[in-house]
Every structure is written in structure tokens, then in C-alpha cells.
Chain A
């Protein structure tokens, strides 16, 4: 019973961390309708920056904002490549992710252990430190509420509008490029934050941890959209369901090396199911 509770707790904790990536991918893919592949590089950038800062004894509360700034710069790079150099959005993201792979290696190498350093989870007393959910739940809830608030402001409205029809922003005397870049900076800052939380959670940085993050976030997004298409708690629930599915495969003794394949199949099945339901609803 105890071990089952621990498994459940782990699922929720990892779900909470990855839900931040889903918030990011929702902002890019669903709101500004820009499929941003640089999110994958930003997750690693956030992890590498966090690992480097922690190993140099920077306090976590200074490191986290710096991590978010590093992610925002990656988003800025993607945005500028797309808006100023007119690169296709997919190419802009791939270029930035590829460049970030080298940068991340230079920042933290292929692995960097931070287990002995003081992280955000050390705010818990030593006998509570295994209950990381106590830190994560309020933090991620606050983040979700902040994003919900932002999307309801004039900026948020214009993010939706730029995704639907950039000409509308021009009609209003606003520069659509500024809003595309702004949203990319926010989403990459969020992804970097997620990477930084993950490094603190597992106690080390690995360059391979960021590989496939985009597809994990996409799977979570599709699961969350099966609950509701809105930007709300469904995002956290989707992320947790995804983690539960992956954890269940461990229970069935599936080799973890199949994880990415399972995720890919999950996405295909979810998309087909979604198409079928839309088809039947229409009928």
C-alpha cells in the first residue's frame, strides 16, 4: 500500500513538472499557432543553467529567474529568426534547438550532479523532503493561475488574435511580430523553468533528458484536450495521466527504452480517437 502511494505521488510530481511544458506548448501551438520546436532545446537549457548555477552555489531563488531569462532569450532567437529573417517556424525552432544542444553541453557537460546542493525542495524540513509535492503543487497552481490571468488580459487577447489572423493586429495598429516574439519568450521561459525543476527533482542534469520532451508535452496536451480544450486544470490532469500511463508500463515490466515509442503510439491513438469523435459528433 505504501509503495503504491509512493508511485502515485511520483506520478503526480512528475506530472506537475511536465505540465509547465504543456502550458508552454499550449501557448505556442494552440494560441499563437506557431509550432515551436525550440521548446525541446529550452528544456535542456533550463536544466543545464540550473545545474551550473547550483553547482556554483547560487541560491535556487536567484537561479530560477535566471533560468527563465535564458529560456526567454532562446524564444527571442526563434522569434527573430522567424520574423526578421523570414525562416519558416519549424526551421526556426529546429535551428535553435540544434544550437542549444551544443550550448547546453558547454554549460553543464553531458551530465552534472546537483544532488548535494540546496534546491527549491530544501525549503522543506529534512523529514518532509520526500514530499516534493508540497512544493510543486502550490508553485504549479500559482503558475497556472498566472498564465490564465495573462491570457485574459489585453495581451492575452492579442496572443489569440495573432494566432487566428495577424492582419487583425495590424488593423489595430499593433505589430504582430512583437506579439509572436513575446509569446515565444514566455513559452520558452516556462519550458526552461520546467527543465530546471526537473533537474532539482531528480538531482542531476543529463543532456539526454531533454530529448523527446516536445513529444511528451504534446502527448500531455492531447490528453488534456480530451478533457477540455481550455487552458485550465485539465493541463495538469493531462500531464498526470501521461505520467500514469508511462509508469503503468513499468509495472508491466516494459523496457523503459520503449517509452518514446509508446508515447508516439499514444499520440497517434489519441489523434485518431479525437478525429473519430469529431466525426461522430458532426453526424
Chain B
């Protein structure tokens, strides 16, 4: 579905991604783990079009999209950011934000902004207990971080993409909210057989969900595991572990 051929990204004369070649097949659910500064977010920036590769090509369904900008890719590639503030309009209400999520890929119209509210998300709002009139009329900024990320998920998927990028979506959430978001997201991804890439720092999470694990270190993909072939992978196999003995010295 999407091939990366010898991709490099250099920022301020520093090579962040180094000669990456890999393929994402339709229906894959890839979990990317790696230490801080490995280039995980730059990898997503490159896929979403925020950054153009310095070298290499990106082929999406036989079309070269290397130089296609972020907004042109947005209709096929959707991204959920770690920072809830990047996922919606803080001063607008939940209902208005949801309505806007349905503008994706359509020319902007001079009619009521609420006219094309995505009615199909109502069911999911009910499941997440976010369907009350009070919540729908609340500005996004007044919601909890967990509620904001759940709504951001609904917004990112209101018009289903071909490739879904989840950039540490639970990093800013408490465990209960993170569990709720992941539970819902996994169900939706499986139901829609959505091709997904998730970035996480949490090796346990990588072992629990997804079909493939990629390790990104120092700007390159150093290991790729197909989980079916490696049923006994451990967190230490992925990115090492905290050296507790060193802490006691």
C-alpha cells in the first residue's frame, strides 16, 4: 500500500531519519517503539506530509506522493496528535468541532456550519457517554484531557482515512482515560480493518496490541517483528529496560 524507498530527513544539518526503506501493507497495525529522539515523530511528519524527505521517495498505492503537501494528504492520511490542543478548536463547542470534522475532502460551503454534522458519530458518542446536550454545547477547552482525546479520535475518523497515524495519543492521559481511549480505538480499528501506525513509548502496550512491531532507533528501523512469528517477545527484547541496580549504586 505504501512504500518508503531510501528516505532521509535532515533538519538543521542533522540527519534525523537515515535511509529508511520499508513497506506498510493494507490492514497492517504497526506499533513503533523507540527511545526519545529516535525520530519517531519525524517519521510521522514525513508520512503525513508535514516534512518533505531530503532524499528518497514515498509511493502510496502506486502514486508518488513524496512532494504532496500535508493538507492534500489529509483526506487519505489522518493523524491523531499527542497534544490534544492540535486535534481541535478549543473555543468551539464539541458539536461544532464534530461538524467541522466532516468538512474533510469537501469544498467549503456558504451554508450553516452545522448542516453537515456527521450523524453517524452519534452512536459512538453514546457509547462513550459524550452524547448529552450539555457536553455537545461545551467548548472543547472545558473538557478533560481524556474526553478531548476521545472526541479527537471521533473527529479524525469521522471521514475514514486509508491510513491512520496515532502519535502517542495516550501520553498525556491518566491510566483510566488511556484505557478507555485505547479500548475504543482498537475496536474501531479492527471493525474497519484500518491500516494503522501507533507510536508509543510503552513496550507493554506494543506487545499487547497491533500485528507488527517496528523498533526505531537513531533514525533507522533497526528491527521489525511480525507478532505471529514471535509469540514470546518480551519488553526487554524491544527497547531494553530500566537498570534498577544502577539506581541503587
Contact = CB atoms under 8 A, between A and B. Distances in A.
Nearest to A153: B110
A103 B110 CA distance: 34
Given A168-B89, A173-B104, A174-B108, A154 B71 contact: no
Interface string B87-117: 1111110001001110111001111110010
B108 A171 contact: no
A114 B109 CA distance: 41
Contact of A155 (B85, B87, B108): B108
Contacts of A175: 71
A172 B101 contact: yes
Interface string A88-127: 0000000000000000000000000000000000000000
Given A158-B108, A165-B86, A171 B78 contact: yes
Given A154-B113, A158-B108, A172 B92 contact: no
Nearest to A175: B71
B71 A173 contact: yes
B71 A168 contact: no
Contact of B100 (A150, A152, A168): A168
Interface string A119-161: 0000000000000000000000000000000101111111011
A108 B124 CA distance: 61
Given A172-B100, A172-B104, A152 B112 contact: yes
A153 B100 CA distance: 11
A170 B109 CA distance: 17
B90 A170 contact: no
B70 A170 contact: yes
A218 B135 CA distance: 33
B82 interface: no
Contacts of A156: 113
A161 B90 CA distance: 8
Interface in B101-160: 101, 103-105, 108-113, 116, 156
Nearest to B110: A153
A153 B112 CA distance: 4
Contacts of A150: 110
A32 B81 CA distance: 22
Nearest to B101: A172
Contact of A174 (B71, B86, B111): B71
Interface of A: 150, 152-158, 160-161, 163-165, 167-175
Interface of B: 70-72, 74-75, 78-79, 81, 85-92, 96, 99-101, 103-105, 108-113, 116, 156
Given A156-B113, A160-B89, 13 more contacts: A157-B96, A157-B113, A158-B103, A160-B92, A160-B96, A161-B100, A164-B88, A165-B90, A167-B86, A169-B71, A172-B100, A173-B72, A173-B75
